[in-house]
């Protein structure tokens, strides 16, 4: 499709697929509908989506539009063991299950942590939209989950975002109260056999002296997904995020961090190991609003076959954010002449007493290092995998949970040594 009218029709198909509005989210839905009407779907002339042809991907995956509504989970099938195949080996964790955008209390396994349907949340929800798919999520999500971390929680929370498609809008809200801490791992799984289009919104607030560790694993084939993650930090808070992107038709991550406090520490790491025709896109914004804080952003990518990666990272340092330390790095390896990366690091500083840097590199494997390993009797393919493994593992250094790190390590090894 190429005309404006046709794109509006596709939009109508999307919105119709997820059913009626719910009264308790009326204001947010109204704001989402208004935002969607104003922003519209991106085209190849939309700067933020210039290298990410999401509408084209949707048209290819759903040539007849979305005639079937999202899976009806009013009568859930399966027993309590049905989620076991999605768990992380060796990881003792609370488990919260979202089925087609709705919290499943029956399938969840939480004890000692407050996890509730989002419909029971009475606090503030994000209602300003700069991305059309965030607005779409607000307009048409059914429900979601609310994680209330009001103390130090030693056992991590695994969020299983299970979707049967074809269109699902999921929403996660996390509140870490003052002096609290929580570690969250989120996995999206397409449990159906057909293509899935999913929008996911994550709204995370980290109060004074609180800590949040957030790991996202994206390893789902046959999915077109747009994730919008907003993090707001207060004084002396600490945030670590890690995103592992392995599979998907097209996956777009919008990560926006507002460091609105002093003495904050923030680390944002990501690793993309792409193959086939997968398109993976990371757009990040780190906004330093107050002085005396530190942020470090490291994203790496290894692109094989005909895969395509996009990275756009922005750092803002406001006039009053003196003595800010902010660093950003994007490093990539292309394994074939058909793989591509479009990278654009950006840095805007309005303060003068700061230490900031940003940069990007793109290249191939080091032939001398490869030759050296082969001269020591290592097979060429193993030598290649060893070099890529060493390149990738720097991004996982901040993962503190040993079973999670072992699981991430196994996923990386499986991809690189295949």
What is the predicted pLDDT for the residue at 126?
Answer: 66
What is the predicted pLDDT for the residue at 6?
Answer: 41
What is the predicted pLDDT for the residue at 15?
Answer: 39
How many Cα atoms sit within 13 Å of 77 on the Cβ side? Answer: 5
Residues 98-124 as b or e (16 or more Cβ within 10 Å = b): bbbbbbbeebbebeebebbebbebeee
pTM of the model: 0.91
Q: What angle do CA 132, 136, 139 make, to 5 degrees?
A: 135
pLDDT in tens, 139-179: 989 899 999 999 999 999 999 999 987 999 999 999 999 99
Neighbours of 325 (CB within 10 A): 16
What is the predicted pLDDT for the residue at 78?
Answer: 43
CA distance 201 to 32: 12
Contact status, residue 255 vs residue 284, Cβ threshold 8 Å = yes
327: nearest Cα among 394, 272, 269 = 269
CA distance 54 to 33: 20
Residues of the chain with pLDDT under 70: 1-24, 66-81, 126-128
What is the predicted pLDDT for the residue at 66?
Answer: 57
284: nearest Cα among 247, 326, 321, 246 = 326
What is the predicted pLDDT for the residue at 127?
Answer: 63
Residues 397-406 as b or e (16 or more Cβ within 10 Å = b): ebbebeebbe
What is the predicted pLDDT for the residue at 73?
Answer: 45
What is the predicted pLDDT for the residue at 301?
Answer: 97
Contact status, residue 256 vs residue 289, Cβ threshold 8 Å = no
What is the predicted pLDDT for the residue at 325?
Answer: 97
């Amino acid at each position: 499709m190429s005309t404006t009218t046709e794109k509006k029709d596709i939009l109508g198909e999307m919105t119709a697929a997820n059913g009626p509005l719910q009264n308790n989210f009326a204001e947010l839905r109204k704001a989402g509908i208004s935002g969607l009407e104003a922003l519209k779907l991106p085209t190849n002339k939309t700067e933020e989506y210039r290298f990410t042809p999401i509408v084209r991907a949707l048209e290819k995956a759903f040539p007849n539009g979305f005639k079937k509504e999202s899976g009806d989970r009013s009568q859930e099938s399966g027993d309590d063991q049905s989620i076991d195949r999605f768990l992380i080996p060796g990881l003792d964790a609370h488990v919260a299950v979202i089925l087609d955008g709705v919290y499943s209390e029956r399938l969840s396994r939480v004890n000692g942590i407050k996890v509730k349907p989002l419909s029971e949340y009475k606090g503030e929800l994000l209602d300003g939209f700069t991305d059309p798919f965030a607005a779409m999520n607000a307009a048409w999500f059914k429900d979601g989950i609310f994680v209330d971390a009001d103390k130090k929680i030693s056992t991590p929370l695994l969020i299983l975002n299970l979707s049967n498609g074809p269109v699902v809008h999921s929403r996660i809200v996390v509140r870490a109260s003052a002096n609290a801490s929580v570690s969250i791992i989120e996995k999206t799984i397409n449990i159906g056999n057909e293509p899935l289009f999913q929008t996911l919104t994550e709204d995370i607030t980290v109060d004074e002296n609180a800590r949040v560790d957030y790991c996202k694993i994206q390893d789902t084939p046959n999915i077109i997904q747009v994730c919008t993650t907003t993090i707001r930090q207060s004084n002396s808070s600490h945030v670590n995020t890690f995103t592992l992107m392995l599979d998907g038709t097209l996956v777009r991550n919008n990560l926006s961090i507002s460091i609105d406090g002093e003495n904050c520490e923030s680390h944002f790491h990501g690793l993309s190991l792409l193959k086939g025709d997968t398109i993976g896109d990371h757009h990040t914004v780190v906004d330093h609003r107050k002085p005396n804080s530190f942020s470090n952003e490291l994203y790496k990518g290894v692109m094989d076959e005909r895969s395509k990666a996009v990275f756009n990272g922005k750092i803002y340092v406001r006039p009053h954010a003196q003595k800010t330390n902010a660093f950003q790095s994007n490093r990539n390896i292309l394994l074939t002449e058909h793989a591509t990366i479009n990278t654009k690091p950006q840095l805007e500083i309005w303060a003068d007493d700061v230490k900031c840097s940003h940069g990007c590199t793109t290249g191939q494997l080091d032939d001398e290092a490869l030759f050296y390993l082969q001269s020591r009797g290592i097979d060429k393919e193993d030598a290649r995998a060893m070099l890529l493994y060493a390149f990738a593992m720097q991004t996982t250094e901040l993962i503190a949970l040993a079973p999670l790190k072992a699981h991430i390590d196994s996923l990386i090894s499986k991809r690189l040594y295949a």
